[in-house]
Chains A and B, each alone.
Chain A
């Protein structure tokens, strides 16, 4: 996992006099406020992206491959032309890619638990929700980065969305991702290992994405399947994104997506917070 070529460094002794001075020199500051603590945890999340960029790469390369493969291999067969299919696919892959990234929030949380660092956080005089909310905020920045990569790729391949609409779609996707990430955080607190969380996450997001209209329109599917695909929130989000990128404002679908995000947060955020405290 770690670079094999990097030997551990062993350095000088602790300097006892300096340790004494260091202890003597701290007046206790006023406790950090809830928002400031959450922001600090968000900063921690960003640092991890900086130090472990592979994690972001994993969840970006797969969607990039999907865009290329589906557009150029299946695009002609599905839509008659690769250009037409690309315009249908890119907003859908944006949704898929960002939702896949949410699994990593749960994985990161579970990784924390297997280390001792959570015990330290929980023994600090800070607002109990700060670690979770802060990590989520940091993760949302990650979702934005991930979505931007997919959109940029789409533009490079000739996709021409309405700029404002594309930004709005990206924000909408990140909002649902924020809601969904609570589910995986709860899972991350319940399951035993990071890889178990990752498996469970992908096993649920993968089929749900294929059982949506991300890749094909529901009208081409057999009746019962189409019925499911039409009510799948992922389809609704993908539809809303497509419409936004064409310069429309599908108010009903946007409201529905926001409602789903709010419902997921309302159900899973308190559960996650309780599990985190109880751990």
Chain B
């Protein structure tokens, strides 16, 4: 992989700060992203992810702090930064009233391709992203997954050195999500650096080489997925009961063995930290000895969800706005409303999504 900056860093940010009114959306963020890597910025809604991306992509100026992107200062050399990056925003950044093909031709022309080259490139990308048959349809008739794929295709009309992906799978059904992940992996293998903002812990775990956990505008932890998991210090036992009604009883049995036990969103499941397999086995044995029926159990590294809990003292899903975190709202869902930290002065900060 060729390194095009002196430092080998695609992004180097120190103390980035941005306030909207009295709200500090981003409060002193430091980032160092190696060229050729996927860097995950993980946090709940409203944590400051989108505002951080918008600053790095030269859309808003920081109030304080400095950052360079591909070796160019974001304030002093915005044009140089723009010619290295592409942005896939949280709201699909394509034009709904144009066809898929027209969207890609439009961007090709804006990137400086001549008309025939722009057309050829559009067709090549539509083919590669499985959108060739829908190419002539208006984007407003696309499903959520197709829109996302078009959005990413639009970001690589001219291959960027650095790509910002803001919640690329929010609102997608699992199948479309896997497709987007495959595309991201293909991009990385082609040498593009990716800054990936996500509120899905699994997504960062699947794709990212390094992760910054961000909460209330600050980076509260940083490292590889493995390091972050290790920092929590233990594995976890997850138990799923045959009868959800026995959960309180199971909790009472497990607590003396495991220490802390947390109830999961699944009404029949609960989990707790356990240092090693023996303690886990003892815990499961204690359950069956007390007459609690176990449907299944697993022992593993803590999930990033548990990492978040350990780092912030609250679960990721509770921290942010009103969006239902965790499960996406099913196939073909509309994009969610804008992130709470996205609204600048004069714009509504949330609520109504795109029409």
A residues at B contact (CB < 8 Å): 1-3, 6, 8-16, 18-26, 28-32, 36-37, 40, 43-44, 47-48, 51-52, 113-117, 119-126, 130, 190, 192, 279
A-B contact pairs, 7 of them (CB 8 A): A14-B130, A37-B109, A47-B98, A115-B91, A116-B92, A116-B354, A119-B59
Question: How long is the Cα–Cα vector from A36 to B59 in the complex, in angstroms?
Answer: 22
Pick from A8, A10, A120: contact of B87, CB below 8 A: A120
Question: How long is the Cα–Cα vector from A12 to B131 in the complex, in angstroms?
Answer: 7
4 more A-B residue pairs beyond the given contacts A22-B156, A29-B117, A119-B59, with a C-beta to C-beta distance below 8 A: A16-B183, A24-B190, A43-B109, A47-B102
Q: Tell me if A44 and B106 are in contact (CB < 8 A).
A: yes
Question: How long is the Cα–Cα vector from A8 to B334 in the complex, in angstroms?
Answer: 12
Chain A contacts for B332, CB-based, 8 A: 8, 10
Question: How long is the Cα–Cα vector from A130 to B111 in the complex, in angstroms?
Answer: 13
Q: Tell me if B128 and A9 are in contact (CB < 8 A).
A: no
* B34 on the A face (CB < 8 A): no
Given A116-B92, A125-B79, the answer on whether A51 and B346 have CB atoms closer than 8 Å is no
Given A24-B190, A124-B111, A192-B348, the answer on whether A52 and B143 have CB atoms closer than 8 Å is no
Q: Tell me if B158 and A51 are in contact (CB < 8 A).
A: no
Question: How long is the Cα–Cα vector from A36 to B113 in the complex, in angstroms?
Answer: 10
Given A1-B355, A15-B128, A19-B186, the answer on whether A123 and B149 have CB atoms closer than 8 Å is no
* B93 on the A face (CB < 8 A): yes
Q: Tell me if A44 and B85 are in contact (CB < 8 A).
A: no
Question: How long is the Cα–Cα vector from A30 to B338 in the complex, in angstroms?
Answer: 34
Question: How long is the Cα–Cα vector from A59 to B334 in the complex, in angstroms?
Answer: 30
Question: How long is the Cα–Cα vector from A51 to B138 in the complex, in angstroms?
Answer: 8
Q: Tell me if A29 and B112 are in contact (CB < 8 A).
A: yes
The interface size of chain B toward A, counting residues with CB under 8 Å, comes to: 71
Q: Tell me if A26 and B159 are in contact (CB < 8 A).
A: yes
By beta carbon, the residue of chain A nearest B164 is A123
Chain B contacts for A8, CB-based, 8 A: 141-143, 146, 332
Chain B contacts for A125, CB-based, 8 A: 79, 82-83, 111
Given A20-B186, A44-B95, A116-B92, the answer on whether A13 and B86 have CB atoms closer than 8 Å is no
A-B interface pairs (CB < 8 A), number: 174
Question: How long is the Cα–Cα vector from A115 to B56 in the complex, in angstroms?
Answer: 20
Tell me how far the C-beta of A192 lies from the nearest C-beta in chain B, rounded to whole angstroms.
6
User: Residue-by-residue, is B64-98 near A (CB-CB < 8 Å gives 1, otherwise 0)?
Assistant: 00000000000000010011011101111111111
Question: How long is the Cα–Cα vector from A34 to B65 in the complex, in angstroms?
Answer: 31
Q: Tell me if A32 and B111 are in contact (CB < 8 A).
A: yes
Pick from A13, A37, A115: contact of B95, CB below 8 A: A115
Question: How long is the Cα–Cα vector from A26 to B104 in the complex, in angstroms?
Answer: 14
User: Residue-by-residue, is B128-141 near A (CB-CB < 8 Å gives 1, otherwise 0)?
Assistant: 11110110011011
Which listed segment binds A: B119-127, B234-242, B278-286? B119-127
Question: How long is the Cα–Cα vector from A8 to B96 in the complex, in angstroms?
Answer: 13
Pick from B89, B107, B111, B187: contact of A19, CB below 8 A: B187
Q: Tell me if B97 and A9 are in contact (CB < 8 A).
A: no
Q: Tell me if B128 and A2 are in contact (CB < 8 A).
A: no
Chain A contacts for B59, CB-based, 8 A: 119, 122-123
Question: How long is the Cα–Cα vector from A279 to B54 in the complex, in angstroms?
Answer: 11
Among B85, B90, B114, B190, the one with the most A-chain Cβ atoms within 10 Å of its Cβ is B190
Given A9-B146, A22-B125, A123-B87, the answer on whether A117 and B95 have CB atoms closer than 8 Å is yes
Given A2-B140, A36-B109, A115-B354, the answer on whether A52 and B97 have CB atoms closer than 8 Å is yes
Tell me how far the C-beta of A49 lies from the nearest C-beta in chain B, rounded to whole angstroms.
10
Question: How long is the Cα–Cα vector from A220 to B290 in the complex, in angstroms?
Answer: 99
Q: Tell me if B110 and A14 are in contact (CB < 8 A).
A: no
Q: Tell me if A51 and B98 are in contact (CB < 8 A).
A: yes
Chain B contacts for A120, CB-based, 8 A: 87, 89, 93-94, 107, 154
